[in-house]
Amino acid sequence: MKNRSIIIVTGLSGSGKSTAINALEDAGYFCVDNMPVQLLPKFLELRSGDISEVQKLAFGMDLREKRFAQKYEGVFDELRKEGYRLEIIFLESSEEVLIKRYSETRRKHPVCEDGTLLDGIRAEKEQLKGLKKLADKVIDTSSYTVHGLKDLLIKHSYEGIDSARMKIEVISFGYKFGIPLEADILIDTRFIPNPFFVPKLKNLDGRDEEVKRFIKKWPETQDFMDKYLSLLDFLIPLYEKEGKAYLTVAVGCTGGKHRSVAIAEEINTHIKMLDRNTGVKHRDIEID
């Protein structure tokens, strides 16, 4: 599988490489931070039999490995010759921002030996200037928040690929069995008349057409759906912009068999029509 995608996240210490690795991991990449560059070809050989994990790989590499600056060019050239799709993302920040970040974390700079922190930052810049020239993308993170940088990396690496976008799950549930702990957004549909009290509908569930028709016929149901779907249309892009990898929309009724199921199905269909990565689960539908 020599055509698989490999992203190398590198750059200056304190510029946000760990945040970038975490973003790619959330987006579906198999990530390894602080990978010794000389071990990369061997690592790829070891994992070549497992297609599910080697399609998209990301590695954090920098001067924490002492010989990185001397070895990266030869290793990267060889991988490209072998047919790997290699992309180098180089992160940097202003000296003022890097000094501030190190002052806040009190971590030791990897190139700072006997000199000052600023000396270490400038020495690292010098050692990595050749790698910066080779990079496919250079990102100055000085003005980015953690969430902003995460969002940027996800959009850059997966633009136009559905699997990279935020994954949405719609869950129906019954309040008498407890609220789903994973819920991000929760709505109560117990204001809708209950099909449970209609004898011919009692033993059906919200996936059956008769139950759906019963639930949809009430004016309050239609008003609710119009308003709630509009709210979700507003919220989902904002959650995605914030950098969430997963969003769970929970829909509850008394027993989790009729109203919540039918409404969850409608919500999932609407979100899917927006070309979103979504799925539906009915947690309590089989519970008597």
pLDDT for the residue 163: 45
Measured over the CA atoms of residue 228, residue 233, residue 237 and residue 238, the dihedral's sign is negative
pTM, rounded to two decimals: 0.56
CA-CA distance, 89 to 17, in Å (whole number)? 10
pLDDT for the residue 160: 42
pLDDT for the residue 246: 84
Measured over the CA atoms of residue 111, residue 112, residue 115 and residue 116, the dihedral's sign is positive
pLDDT for the residue 49: 52
pLDDT tens sequence for the chain (288 residues): 555 678 999 999 999 999 999 988 887 888 999 999 999 998 887 755 554 455 688 999 998 888 898 999 999 998 888 888 889 999 999 999 999 888 777 677 877 767 788 888 998 999 999 999 989 889 999 888 888 888 788 777 665 444 456 889 999 999 999 999 889 999 999 999 999 999 999 999 999 999 999 999 999 999 999 999 999 999 998 888 776 778 999 999 999 999 999 999 999 999 998 878 899 999 999 887
CA distances from 228 to 237, 248, 286, 287 (A): 15, 15, 26, 27
CATH 3.40.50.300 fits 5-163, yes or no: yes
- Residue 192 has a CB neighbour count (10 Å cut-off) of 20
Buried b or exposed e, range 251-276, using 16+ CB within 10 angstroms: bbbbbbbbbbbbbbbbbbebbeeeeb
Angle between helix 117-134 and 68-81 (nearest 10): 20
pLDDT for the residue 47: 55
Instruction: Return the bridge partners of 92, or none.
Output: 140
The 3-state secondary structure of 182-194 reads CCCEEEECCCCCC
In the chain, what are the domain boundaries? Answer: 5-163, 166-282
